[in-house]
Amino acid sequence: MAAPARPPFAAWLGGGNDVTAAFLAAAGRPDIVNLAGGLPDPALFPVEDLARLAAAAVRERPAEVLGYGPVAGMADLRAALAARLSTPALRLSAANVLVVSGGMQGLDLLGKVLIEEGASVAAQWPTYLGALDAWRPRRPRYRPLLPATDPAGLAAALAGAAFGYVVPNFSNPTGRLVPEGERRALVAAARATGTWLVEDDPYGSLGYDGPALPRLLDLDAGEGAGAGGYEGPVVYLGTLSKLVVPGLRVGWVVAAPAMIAALARARQGSDMCGAGLSQAMALAAFAEGLPERLAPRAVALYRGRRDALLAAMAAGLGGRFAWEVPAGGMFVWARARDAGLDTDRLFHAGLAAGVCITPGSAFDPAGRDRGGLRLNFTLNPPDRLAEGVRRLAAAAATLG
Amino acid sequence: MAAPARPPFAAWLGGGNDVTAAFLAAAGRPDIVNLAGGLPDPALFPVEDLARLAAAAVRERPAEVLGYGPVAGMADLRAALAARLSTPALRLSAANVLVVSGGMQGLDLLGKVLIEEGASVAAQWPTYLGALDAWRPRRPRYRPLLPATDPAGLAAALAGAAFGYVVPNFSNPTGRLVPEGERRALVAAARATGTWLVEDDPYGSLGYDGPALPRLLDLDAGEGAGAGGYEGPVVYLGTLSKLVVPGLRVGWVVAAPAMIAALARARQGSDMCGAGLSQAMALAAFAEGLPERLAPRAVALYRGRRDALLAAMAAGLGGRFAWEVPAGGMFVWARARDAGLDTDRLFHAGLAAGVCITPGSAFDPAGRDRGGLRLNFTLNPPDRLAEGVRRLAAAAATLG
């Protein structure tokens, strides 16, 4: 007798897209030019520094590094992050900081803590696909938040939402730098409506064309300070992935202590605690100024690659696509001039032609966008970027 | 004008217990004897070996260790685990293996993939509190699975459940070794009813009194093998935490390839991928036989401590509690002889007296048990165990 069929997996697994898995698979194929992921160039990895810091961390803090650690993160690292992210106007304490396994885990924990059945998320549109992945098991609805036309529109989008979500520095996928006026309006609307406002900031250190703009967290500093540190509505996500390396899986959430406590409760049931070795290495890397030593080289390298990608696009894709120059980050976002050009089809045609891109549908909470396209410029050198664009142009030509 | 109140956190945060947080906090206080957690003795940590492996992993595999890795885990580690866990009867492939950040993440991912609103979990009773923590955001109902009286009872418990959950080796909290007959009946009932059967096995290497019993996975091997490897209902969870150290946060799930693919989808949205350094160190530790070198010392040390705790309990707690001798693992489970003795109250009285234990309510899905008590014997040396028991007896005496 055949065994009965096992029950189906949870319904949310039927939704979503396989783009991340496809580009992670493509990353292992040398014949494919990978313009899809948000991957750094491994040539920038400070290998010798990290080998030294790894061995030292194990030898100098064995019980802390090799044993179970505190759910909210290593105490010294929480304190160091609070000090590092404080300004004269923004006074953070360790109680404002949760260490997470990459910014992605921060998004997952936020979903567990804030999204109930039927809840709405007000999101910058298009939306980072990793955030959509993280929240899919909680099945939220989405409303567009940015780009916003006016303060009343922002307040209407935020009112009653579980939270607002925005990547103000070189947004993913569009590369847009949200202007200071819009940032101020966002913070004011979050305060006026009593809504949590999630500021996801992986790319803040990768600005190529000018000084950094104030974080939403900074703009809320005066109003949001309480006796125990920051108490306001902004929930800030940062990561070591673009400052040093992604493989250590160290990120952080900065928020009101009540939010940090709730996220820590969720983290306890997610993976108990983070790897002590990664956290001790992050602490030592901050202490010796490793991010600051690495930043100029990364900015110079990636600025040149951005310009190389844009030049190749101008030569090969200008007839079919339009785009703006991103002032930082890792991506150029292009839109098809012809409404009939389907970028989902182009994604598959591109793979056949030896190039992997990310289609706009991956960033649309409704999955309907078929005209957008995200291209990464940080992983590949200029000649490889140009080859990828040539293959993409050839693939586009086959779509007729 | 005061800002409006922000919306409440998700309702599941109102449930559950604060025991894990309390004992993690107690772990940092030298004045408290910590008998609560499941912590190893840091004196067993192979510090020099791991310092060497850490530096070597960064230098020898920099792109893999420091960059983003595959969602399902480092390919070489998946293959090594498949080989390590295979037997002549059980043929596993890398597609049967997912690397996770500790067994706890495996439990979280299983909840995301299998628990829909209103679903039931058939669990060994009492139940590991970390599993209850992991699944709380999905809000399952619970039914008792083990100890079971007969095959019909097992089938009735499993039929229609999202999955069965059992810790067959030295169960947490009871320390019970599920006998082979009961194991066979469990696997047969899972196959007959078409139900996933989760075998959580952190303590399998910590047996003190006899040879290991076959895993549920082994008992299903003959029936569960398909062309692509194992295809049966058992979902096996293992961890490096008790074989080497917990701080690396390396665990694994072994299951049918379709289950591994679903769990990997959930993992993508949970934290994207695991730390490459931890995975490369785990791979190297397996390759040089580090777990096998460490095991005899751990077994000898912990066997002696188990016996020391039992002797202290016999001297100080026998009047108030009854217990059985656990043949392995990390815990002794005791039940109050007097139904009026409330172990939640004893938990707090114990903290005041300088000892931290885990009350039975933490392991009861309904939170009603007030007569159980879990004591850990792995962290502390014999004299400290005896002092902890003396403090606990004194605390019990104050409850009147």
Q: A residues 79-108 near B, CB within 8 Å?
A: 100-102, 104-105, 108
pLDDT value at B340 more than 80: yes
What residue of A is the nearest CA neighbor of B267?
A: A134
CB distance B66–A50 less than 8 Å?
A: yes
Q: What is the pLDDT of residue B1?
A: 45
| Residues in a beta bridge with A197 | A164, A234
pLDDT tens profile B152-176: 899 999 999 999 999 999 999 999 9
What are the DSSP E strand ranges found in chain B? 33-34, 97-100, 120-123, 141-144, 163-166, 196-200, 225-226, 229-230, 234-239, 251-254, 321-323, 331-336, 355-356, 358-359, 372-376
* Whether residues A101 and A133 fall in one domain: yes
Whether B257 and B271 share a structural domain: yes
Residue B224 vs residue A183, higher pLDDT: A183
pLDDT of amino acid A6: 83
Query: Cβ contacts of residue A208 below 8 Å, gap of 6+?
Result: A299, A302, A303, A306, A327, A328
Substitution target from B272, B278, B290 for chain A, most A beta carbons within 10 A:
B272
Q: What is the pLDDT of residues A260-278, one digit of tens each?
A: 999 999 999 999 999 999 9
Q: Is the pLDDT at B341 greater than 90, yes or no?
A: yes
B54 touches chain A (CB under 8 A): yes
Mutate to test the interface with A, among B23, B68, B172 (most CBs of A within 10 A): B68
The verdict on B231 and B329 lying in the same domain is: no
For residues B122 and B169, state if they share a domain: yes
Tokens 């916003």 found at: A148
CB-CB neighbors (< 8 A) of B16 in chain A:
265
Neighbours of A1 (CB within 10 A): 4
Contact at CB, A55 and B51, closer than 8 angstroms:
yes
Residue A44 in any domain: the answer is: no
Mean pLDDT in residue range B395-399: 96
CATH number at residue A269: 3.40.640.10
Question: A93 lies in which domain range?
Answer: 49-288
Q: Is B159 on the interface with A (CB under 8 A)?
A: no
Domain-located, residue A6: no
Assess if residue A11 is contained within a domain.
no
Q: Which of A267, A288, A309 finishes a domain?
A: A288
pLDDT band at B225 (very low <50, low <70, confident <90, very high): low
> Of the residues A255, A288, A321, which one is the last residue of a structural domain?
A288
**Pairing verdict, β A229-230 and A225-226:** antiparallel
| 0.80 exceeded by pTM | yes
Tell me if B235 sits within 8 A of B199, measured CB to CB: yes
* Pair (A91, A165) in one structural domain: yes
B65 has a chain A CB within 8 A of its CB: yes
Which chain A residues touch B113 with a CB distance below 8 Å?
A: 9-10, 13
Cβ–Cβ below 8 Å for B50 and A66: yes
Residue A1's pLDDT is: 45
Together in a domain, B212 and B117: yes
**Interface-testing mutation among B19, B50, B58, with chain A (most A C-beta atoms within 10 A):** B58
Provide the domain count of chain A: 2
Q: Is residue B380 part of a domain?
A: yes
Question: What pLDDT, on a 0 to 100 scale, did the predictor assign at position A226?
Answer: 65
Whether A327 and chain B come into contact, CB under 8 Å, resolves to no
Any domain includes A135: yes
Q: Where are the beta strands (DSSP E) in A179-218?
A: 196-200
Can you tell me the distance from the alpha carbon of A251 to that of A265, in angstroms, rounded to the nearest whole number?
A: 17
- Decide the pairing of beta strands B251-254 and B97-100: antiparallel
Partners of A247 on chain B (C-beta within 8 Å) are 64-69, 275-277
Residue B64: which residues within 8 A CB-CB, separation 6 or more? Answer: A247, B74, B276, B280
Q: Which residue of A has its CA nearest to B192?
A: A3
Q: B49: which chain A residues are within 8 Å (Cβ-Cβ)?
A: none
A234: helix, strand or coil: strand
- Those residues whose C-beta lies under 8 Å from the C-beta of residue A388, and which sit 6 or more positions away, are A33, A35, A312, A355, A375, A380
Tell me if A268 is assigned to some domain: yes
Binary contact (A66, B42; C-beta < 8 A): yes
- For A35, list phi and psi in degrees, rounded to 5: -105, 15
Question: What residues of B are in contact with residue A226 (Cβ under 8 Å)?
Answer: none
Q: A230 and A363 share a domain?
A: no
B300 in Cβ contact with B283 (< 8 Å): no
Domain CATH code at residue A305: 3.90.1150.10
How far apart, in whole angstroms, are the C-alpha atoms of residue A254 and residue A234? 8
The radius of gyration of chain A's CA atoms, rounded to the nearest angstrom, is 21
Is residue A212 located within the same domain as residue A138?
yes
Last residue of a domain, one of B288, B308, B336: B288
In a domain, B132, yes or no: yes
Q: Is A222 on the interface with B (CB under 8 A)?
A: no
- Chain B residue whose CA is closest to A24: B70
DSSP states of A340-360: T--HHHHHHHHHHHTEE-EEG
- A369 to chain B, any CB pair closer than 8 A? The answer is no
Indicate whether B249 and B152 sit together in one domain: yes
Residue type, B299: V
pLDDT at B226: 65
Chain A's closest residue to B17, CA to CA, is: A265
Residue A9 is assigned to a structural domain of this protein: no
pLDDT (tens digit per residue) in B58-78:
999 999 999 999 999 999 999
Length of chain A: 400
Q: Are A306 and A161 in the same domain?
A: no
**B28 and B120 housed in the same domain:** no
d(CA A232, CA A82): 15
- For the stretch B111-159, pLDDT in tens is 999 999 899 999 999 999 999 999 999 999 999 997 776 888 999 999 9
The verdict on a CB contact (< 8 Å) between A116 and B20 is no
Nearest to B321 by CA among B398, B393, B385: B393
Taking 80 as the threshold, does the pLDDT of residue B190 lie above it?
yes
Give the per-residue pLDDT at A7.
Answer: 79
pLDDT of residue B227: 63
Contact call for residues B239 and B103 (beta carbons, < 8 A): yes
A204 touches chain B (CB under 8 A): no
Q: Which helix (H) or strand (E) holds B353?
A: helix B343-353
Which chain B residues have a beta carbon less than 8 Å from that of A257? none
Say if residue A307 is in the same domain as residue A264: no
Per-residue pLDDT reduced to its tens digit, B9-60: 999 998 666 666 676 677 678 899 999 989 999 999 999 999 999 999 999 9
- How far from A26 is each of A22, A29, A30, A35, A380, CA to CA, in Å? 6, 5, 8, 10, 14
Across chain B, mean pLDDT equals 93
Q: Which regions of chain A are under pLDDT 50?
A: 1
